[in-house]
Amino acid sequence: MTSRTNGQPPDPVDVIASQWRRERPDIDVSALAVFGRLHRTYLRYAALIGEVFDSHEINMASFDVLAALRRSGPPFRRTAGDLASTGLVTTGGLTLRLDRLEAAGLITRERDTADRRVVYAQLTEAGLALIDQVAVEHFDNEMRMLAGLSDTERRQLAALLGRLDHALQRAAQAQPGARHD
């Protein structure tokens, strides 16, 4: 296989696509150029951000909850239902996250006095200090990951990924039996 049109040498996705074209020329595998690279990129991204989270003894799920509370502004408190909707997890999945964060002293939980079914999660001082430190390191780390792209390329890529996200949402809704949330 020769180099790609952008002058880069073939990567593993190019090799896999070439093998499919050779073995099954009747199948259009061109989507692999996007999704194969997207998958490989995500795996590298997850490993690199995991290093930052690991150094603070948290994981991506914990970061998501702490960050959602931090972004909410003082008093850094939200209902479990709000957190579940922003983190794209069920309230059941969130309960485990909140249990771990509470055990670590990073959040407190409190029931609403008017409606006992409503539970609030709130950052502790330790949780606020941790998320502020981790956020700086995390976003610096992400900027290092993007260092090979110009500002224009970053904006173009962000716009294209936004369009891809919308296309995937439409594709999911078009599937028989799809939920239309």
> Which among 54, 55, 77 is positioned nearest to 66, based on CA atoms?
77
Residue 27 confidence (pLDDT): 97
- Contact residues for 46 (Cβ-Cβ < 8 A; gap 6+): 60
CA distance 16 to 92: 39
- Whether residues 68 and 22 share a domain: the answer is no
Residue 131 confidence (pLDDT): 98
Residue 80 confidence (pLDDT): 86
Domain CATH for 134: 1.10.10.10
CA distance 118 to 13: 48
> Which among 68, 53, 159 is positioned nearest to 120, based on CA atoms?
68
Residue 8 confidence (pLDDT): 81
What does the pLDDT average to over 63-84?
93
What DSSP element (H or E) covers 23? helix 12-23
- Whether residues 51 and 78 share a domain: the answer is no
What confidence tens digit (pLDDT) does each residue in 158-168 have?
999 999 999 99
CA distance 8 to 97: 42
- Whether residues 95 and 127 share a domain: the answer is yes
What confidence tens digit (pLDDT) does each residue in 94-139 have?
888 999 999 999 999 999 889 888 889 999 999 999 999 999 999 9
Q: Is 19 left (phi over 0), alpha (psi -120 to 50) or beta?
A: alpha
- Whether residues 61 and 51 share a domain: the answer is no
Q: Kindly report which listed range (39-43, 84-88, 107-111) carries the lowest average pLDDT score.
A: 84-88
Residue 3 confidence (pLDDT): 46
User: What residues make up the domain containing 16?
Assistant: 7-55
Residue 179 confidence (pLDDT): 60
- Whether residues 110 and 35 share a domain: the answer is no
Q: Is residue 176 part of a domain?
A: no
Q: Is residue 181 part of a domain?
A: no
Residue 4 binned pLDDT confidence (cut-offs 50, 70, 90): low
- Whether residues 73 and 19 share a domain: the answer is no
What does the mean pLDDT of the chain come to? 91
CA distance 98 to 119: 11
**How many domains does the chain contain in total?**
2
- Whether residues 48 and 81 share a domain: the answer is no
Residue 2 binned pLDDT confidence (cut-offs 50, 70, 90): very low
